[in-house]
């Protein structure tokens, strides 16, 4: 009787154990689902990213690398991270270039003894026109392949690169990527043929009166000529007038200059890991911006979303297994000096970096993430987490990710990801005077913070 009962008990025990083993993944999923829901409720009800962004933009807008405003933003961000409750906050030095716009630009079209004002903005790193301005006839270029055939016409004239972003790309960053090299290289491309200045159609997906700046570069072997962006509306105006009046002239006056490089800083905060404090997960955005607006979407939004990740973890009493690093990078817009300093430090200290997440695509509604993985198997594992994001309409996972400030961490072993918000309105404000706090929606911004916190939680708990 005892033997029979013992056999029966063992059979029952084994059956129950099998059930528990089978149910364990479900239990784990429920646990993660509940934790993610808690983060959602905390961020949406009590999130501080929007209010923090208001303070950043209104006190320290126009955060050009090396400026006094950028220096003030560093102190603001350091104090904010200390207030939010990081274990450690420190400033990581990096020398940054300093470009100064100077007095506002002036431009007009000379047509039949009439001056038609137009809106321009000097491109970052450009030299200025002569103090008295510069006037010349204009040659319009609609595609780069034209240069070989019409280059001889540019001598002594202004090259007008009127190349619009392709409206057929649903993801507007793809359209931007196709034309960004024109802004960067137009001055040297046209100087090769003797042009005296260059005008670039603003890289914007809409038609409005705002010129969009951005960085450009000079080829060392060619003359340096002034480079400006013109608003899309005025680009259309200039193009239309050239068709009927090819002999018109264009006047432009800029006062920008390069100054000596200065010492600036990344702002770095740590929330030490509960199991593997010597391994790192990095999340961040870039603290610098251009000088025409307030840098709200580019990239104050990403910085304040990253701080919010720390806030919600603190509030819920959650510590990732690895140490979380919040990094607000300096000098993304015109040099990536902050990113280089962070990567060089990580390499020198032989730090172990497992994952890095960047938000630098605006504070609009999050649609998902783009990843850069070491193996297809890693991406497939990440894709299996989409079910956690589907209830929040942010489950678009792609494998074309990276992010400028975190890209160097890939060679140090980290898998990379960047937040992908809806991009339809981003290039309305990108690098323009319209990139101000008032264009950011509180709910959309907080949803991005929640998405970032959720992904970091899953990476830490489930591993890669």
pLDDT tens digits for 198-209?
999 999 999 999
Which regions of the chain carry the CATH code 3.50.30.30?
102-255
Are 232 and 208 in contact, with CB atoms under 8 Å apart?
A: yes
What is the C-alpha R_g of the chain?
26
Mean pLDDT, rounded, for 139-149: 93
- For the cut 60, the answer to whether the pLDDT of residue 25 exceeds it is no
Task: Count CB-CB contacts under 10 A for residue 305.
Answer: 33
Task: Count CB-CB contacts under 10 A for residue 52.
Answer: 23
How far is the C-alpha of 96 from the C-alpha of 372, rounded, in Å? Answer: 28
What token pair was written down for 90?
């420190």
What token pair was written down for 27?
């239990």
- For domain 38-97+260-462, the CATH architecture is 3-Layer(aba) Sandwich (3.40)
Which regions of the chain carry the CATH code 3.40.630.10?
38-97+260-462
Q: Is the dihedral of CA 325, 331, 334, 336 positive or negative?
A: negative
pLDDT at residue 23 in the model: 43
Percent of the chain with pLDDT over 90: 92
pLDDT at residue 456 in the model: 98
How far is the C-alpha of 148 from the C-alpha of 165, rounded, in Å? Answer: 22
Angular region, 389: left φ>0, alpha ψ -120 to 50, beta rest: alpha
How far is the C-alpha of 356 from the C-alpha of 340, rounded, in Å? Answer: 15
How far is the C-alpha of 228 from the C-alpha of 230, rounded, in Å? Answer: 7
pLDDT at residue 266 in the model: 98
pLDDT at residue 168 in the model: 96
Reduce the DSSP state of residue 62 to 3 states and report it.
Answer: coil
Percent of the chain with pLDDT over 70: 94
- Comparison of pLDDT for 2 and 126, the residue scoring more: 126
β pairing state of 120-122 and 227-230: antiparallel
For the chain, what is the mean pLDDT?
94
Q: Tokens 């409005």 label which residue?
A: 208
Q: Which of 14-23, 142-151, 175-184, 353-362 has the lowest mean pLDDT?
A: 14-23
DSSP code string of 173-202: HHHHHHHHHHHHHHHHHHHTTT-SEEEEE-
Task: Count CB-CB contacts under 10 A for residue 316.
Answer: 15
- For the cut 50, the answer to whether the pLDDT of residue 13 exceeds it is no
Q: Tokens 């630098």 label which residue?
A: 360
Q: What is the DSSP letter of 129?
A: P
Angular region, 66: left φ>0, alpha ψ -120 to 50, beta rest: left
How far is the C-alpha of 160 from the C-alpha of 333, rounded, in Å? Answer: 24
- For the cut 50, the answer to whether the pLDDT of residue 379 exceeds it is yes
State pLDDT tens for residues 279-321.
999 999 999 999 999 999 999 999 999 999 999 999 999 999 9
pLDDT at residue 12 in the model: 47
How far is the C-alpha of 100 from the C-alpha of 127, rounded, in Å? Answer: 10
Reduce the DSSP state of residue 155 to 3 states and report it.
Answer: coil
- For the cut 80, the answer to whether the pLDDT of residue 458 exceeds it is yes
How far is the C-alpha of 105 from the C-alpha of 122, rounded, in Å? Answer: 7
| β-bridge mates for residue 250, sequence order | 109, 136
Are 333 and 393 in contact, with CB atoms under 8 Å apart?
A: no
- For domain 102-255, the CATH architecture is 3-Layer(bba) Sandwich (3.50)
State pLDDT tens for residues 207-234.
999 999 999 999 999 999 999 999 999 9
3-state helix, strand, coil split of the chain in percent (to 5) is 45, 25, 35
Mean pLDDT, rounded, for 3-21: 48
How far is the C-alpha of 382 from the C-alpha of 357, rounded, in Å? Answer: 14
């Amino acid at each position: 009787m005892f033997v029979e009962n013992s056999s029966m008990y063992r059979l029952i025990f084994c059956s129950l154990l099998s059930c528990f083993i089978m149910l364990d993944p479900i239990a784990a999923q429920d646990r993660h689902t509940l934790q993610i829901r808690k983060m959602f409720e905390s961020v949406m009800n009590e999130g501080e990213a929007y209010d923090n962004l208001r303070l950043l933009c209104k006190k320290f807008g126009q955060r050009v690398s090396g400026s006094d405003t950028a220096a003030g933003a560093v102190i603001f961000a350091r104090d904010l991270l200390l207030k939010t409750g990081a274990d450690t906050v420190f400033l990581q030095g990096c020398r940054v270039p300093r470009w100064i716009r100077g007095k506002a630009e002036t431009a007009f079209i000379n047509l039949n003894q009439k001056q038609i004002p137009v809106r321009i903005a000097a491109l970052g790193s450009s030299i200025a026109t002569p103090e008295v301005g510069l006037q010349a006839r204009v040659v319009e270029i609609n595609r780069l392949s034209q240069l070989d055939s019409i280059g001889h016409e540019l001598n002594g004239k202004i090259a007008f690169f009127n190349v619009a972003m392709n409206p057929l790309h649903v993801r507007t960053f793809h359209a931007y990527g196709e034309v960004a090299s024109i802004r960067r290289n137009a001055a040297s491309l046209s100087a090769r043929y003797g042009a005296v200045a260059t005008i670039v159609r603003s890289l914007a997906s809409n038609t409005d009166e705002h010129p969009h700046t951005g960085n450009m570069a000079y080829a060392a072997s060619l003359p340096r000529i002034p480079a400006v962006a013109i608003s899309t509306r005025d680009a259309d105006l200039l193009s239309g007038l050239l068709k009927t009046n090819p002999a018109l002239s264009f006047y432009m006056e800029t006062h920008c200059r390069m100054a000596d490089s200065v010492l600036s800083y990344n702002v770095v905060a740590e929330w030490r890991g509960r199991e593997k404090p010597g391994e790192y997960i990095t999340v961040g955005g870039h603290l610098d911006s251009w000088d025409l607006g307030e840098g709200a979407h580019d990239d104050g939004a990403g910085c304040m979303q990253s701080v919010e990740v720390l806030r919600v973890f603190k509030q819920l009493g959650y510590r990732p297994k690895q140490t979380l690093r919040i990094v607000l990078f300096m000098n993304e817009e015109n040099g990536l000096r902050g990113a280089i300093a962070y990567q060089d430090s990580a390499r020198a200290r032989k730090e172990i970096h497992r994952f890095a997440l960047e938000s630098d695509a605006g504070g609009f509604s999050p649609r998902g993430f783009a990843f850069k993985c070491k193996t297809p198997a890693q991406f497939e594992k990440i894709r299996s987490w989409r079910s956690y994001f589907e209830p929040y309409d942010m489950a678009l996972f792609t494998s074309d990710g990276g992010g400028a400030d975190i890209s160097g961490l890939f060679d140090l072993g980290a898998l990379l990801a960047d937040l992908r918000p809806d991009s339809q309105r981003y290039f309305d404000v990108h690098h323009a005077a319209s990139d101000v706090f008032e264009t950011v929606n509180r709910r959309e911004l907080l949803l991005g913070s929640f998405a970032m916190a959720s992904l970091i939680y899953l990476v830490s708990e489930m591993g890669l």
